[in-house]
């Protein structure tokens, strides 16, 4: 019996009304921190940006409006948002936690000191590291401080400061080590790479980044760190630069440039292995662009745009693969935002366990194969599924045929007589029981697979366990 699924894809037409979203960056002689003038002024003109189909949806908002914040996902899947600026003059010490399962935010113990343009990372110990940034209270200026949050006790403690004070850096974690990359104020800082080992509580200097950048997107894929875009230090000159760092060899290499320059963007790796570059500015205009970089092919492709332009946002991914764009300076609603947008690169499809039956009863002691239909539709060609990737709870398709030449157990047919070909996948019931996928308390099963083009899919249907 097919179970209806809620799909995270909605249609949205994006139209920019009013003046250009130009922002000019100038260096403040008194503070050393960048001051951005020219908040968009309406000039009575209408500019059509792009009409698109957007996969982004609004979820629960943060308690506090802010831009220039940082975010990271905890080992338990909770997303933490910290710091930033609630207005143009002061930083905040606000620290909030988002639970994707309940779609709720909760306010946690505030950071020890307010700051903005910081970065954040989750250590192998599950603790949250707030790193660097700019303090516009006391002590004033760039900071190298590291504050460590323990989710188990909701408390902060001082960490080992990084060697170089800087704002606008990016952070990434590979093999339990935290890498802090780039940042503003000087050319050498924009190339700086420092690695922190939580196990030994020590910092070490790594090979410098080839180009000097700040306010770039940073993400990890397949154990490599990618830096995307960013601006030339002490300027608002956005770049298209993409560079990859290999922690194993301590070397950098240049990759295919991003289609269009951006800085003050966010980046996060999706469940499809692609890195999503979200929002930012091209140096003159705020943008709502989202583009996906595939490290496996070194190519860029389009992705659903944000509903409105925003920069100085944070991004994080949940354990189920959903990507979140958090806060930032937004055009709609205008100003510093507390809004949060979610996008799932995983395509949701319909499946039918034991096609044509209801309530999909399964006896845990039965031998044999469990048929699961992946339903093709006018908008979904089920024949593009890679059979090698079809799984339920980590259990692959059963095999049939001879021992010398086994073949995956699946077939193609139109089980629901709608004129579209379906994939019928067969799973060994006892293998599902042995691996703990089927238990007395099981009420539904989730099937996952990958299309030939690399797009991940998933679908769920209910089951009724009988003895």
Distance, CA of 395 to CA of 386 (rounded, Å): 15
Task: Compute the average pLDDT of residues 71-96.
Answer: 96
Report pLDDT for 358: 86
Bridge partners of residue 340, in order along the sequence:
59, 326
3-state helix, strand, coil in the chain (%, to 5): 5, 45, 55
Report pLDDT for 52: 35
Task: Compute the average pLDDT of residues 60-79.
Answer: 97
* Burial tier of 190 (Cβ tally within 10 Å: 0-12, 13-18, 19+): buried
Report pLDDT for 402: 64
Helix H or strand E encompassing 243: strand 242-246
Residue 26 has pLDDT above 80, yes or no: no
Distance, CA of 220 to CA of 227 (rounded, Å): 9
- Cα distance from N-terminal residue to C-terminal residue, the chain: 20
Question: β-pairing, 242-246 with 266-269?
Answer: unpaired
pTM: 0.76
Tokens 């001879």, residue located: 402
Give residue-wise pLDDT tens across range 436-467. 999 999 999 999 999 987 788 999 999 999 97
DSSP string, 32-89: -SEEEE------S-EEEEEEE----EEEPPPSS--BS-EEEE-TTS-EEEE--BSSSS
Cα 365–chain centre separation: 41
Is residue 267 a contact partner of residue 311, using CB atoms and an 8 Å limit?
A: no
Report pLDDT for 115: 96
In the chain, domain spans: 12-345, 348-466
Nearest-5° angle of CA 63, CA 65, CA 69?
A: 105
Helix H or strand E encompassing 433: helix 429-434
Distance, CA of 264 to CA of 19 (rounded, Å): 21
Cβ neighbors of 278 (< 8 A, separation 6 or more) are 217, 265, 266, 267, 268, 289, 290, 306, 313, 315, 323, 325
Which of residues 403 and 89 earns the better pLDDT score? 89
Report pLDDT for 143: 96
Is residue 80 a contact partner of residue 350, using CB atoms and an 8 Å limit?
A: no
Report pLDDT for 294: 94
Domain at 348-466, CATH from 3.60.90, 2.60.40, 1.10.10, 2.60.120: 2.60.40
Report pLDDT for 33: 41
Domain at 12-345, CATH from 2.60.40.1890, 3.30.70.890, 2.120.10.80, 3.30.450.40: 2.120.10.80
Cβ–Cβ contacts within 10 Å for residue 411, how many?
12
Return the structure tokens found at 225. 């760190």
């Amino acid at each position: 019996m097919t179970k209806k699924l809620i799909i995270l894809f909605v249609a949205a037409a994006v139209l920019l009304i009013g003046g250009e979203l130009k922002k000019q960056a100038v260096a403040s002689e008194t503070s050393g921190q960048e001051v951005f003038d020219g908040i968009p002024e309406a000039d009575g003109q209408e500019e059509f940006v792009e009409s698109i189909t957007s996969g982004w949806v609004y979820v629960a908002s943060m308690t506090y409006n802010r831009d220039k914040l940082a975010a990271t996902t905890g080992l338990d899947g909770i997303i933490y948002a910290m710091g930033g600026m609630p207005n143009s003059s002061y930083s905040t010490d606000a620290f909030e936690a988002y639970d994707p399962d309940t779609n709720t935010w909760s306010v946690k113990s505030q950071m020890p000191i307010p700051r903005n343009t910081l970065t954040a990372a989750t250590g192998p110990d599950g603790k949250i590291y707030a790193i660097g940034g700019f303090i516009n209270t006391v002590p004033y200026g760039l900071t190298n401080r590291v504050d460590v949050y323990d989710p188990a006790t909701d408390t902060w403690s001082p960490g080992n400061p990084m060697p170089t004070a800087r704002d606008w850096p990016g952070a990434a974690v590979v093999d339990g080590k935290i890498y802090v990359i780039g940042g503003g104020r000087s050319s050498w800082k924009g190339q700086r790479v420092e690695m922190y080992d939580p196990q030994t509580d020590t910092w070490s200097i790594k090979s410098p980044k080839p180009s000097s950048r700040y306010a770039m997107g940073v993400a990890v894929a397949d154990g490599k760190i990618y830096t995307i875009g960013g601006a030339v230090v002490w300027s608002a000159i956005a770049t298209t630069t993409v560079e990859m760092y290999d922690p194993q060899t301590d070397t950098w290499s240049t990759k295919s440039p991003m289609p269009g320059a951006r800085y003050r963007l966010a980046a996060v790796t999706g469940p499809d292995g692609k890195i999503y570059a979200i929002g930012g500015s091209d140096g003159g205009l705020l943008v709502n662009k989202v583009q996906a970089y595939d490290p496996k092919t070194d190519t860029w492709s389009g992705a659903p745009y944000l509903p409105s332009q925003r920069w100085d946002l944070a991004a994080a991914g949940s354990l189920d693969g959903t990507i979140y764009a958090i806060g930032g300076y937004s055009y709609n609603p205008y100003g510093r935002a507390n809004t949060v947008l979610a996008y799932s690169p995983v395509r949701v499809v319909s499946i039918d366990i034991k096609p044509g039956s209801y309530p999909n009863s399964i006896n845990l002691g039965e031998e044999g194969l469990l048929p699961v239909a992946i339903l093709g539709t006018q908008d979904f060609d089920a024949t593009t599924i890679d059979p090698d990737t079809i799984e339920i709870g980590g259990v692959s398709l059963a095999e049939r045929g001879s021992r010398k030449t086994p073949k995956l157990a699946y077939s193609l047919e139109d089980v629901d007589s709608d004129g579209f070909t379906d994939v019928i996948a067969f799973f060994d019931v006892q293998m599902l029981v042995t691996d703990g996928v089927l238990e007395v308390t099981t009420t539904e099963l989730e099937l996952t697979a990958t299309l030939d083009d690399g797009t991940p899919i998933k679908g769920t249907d209910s089951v009724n366990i009988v003895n």
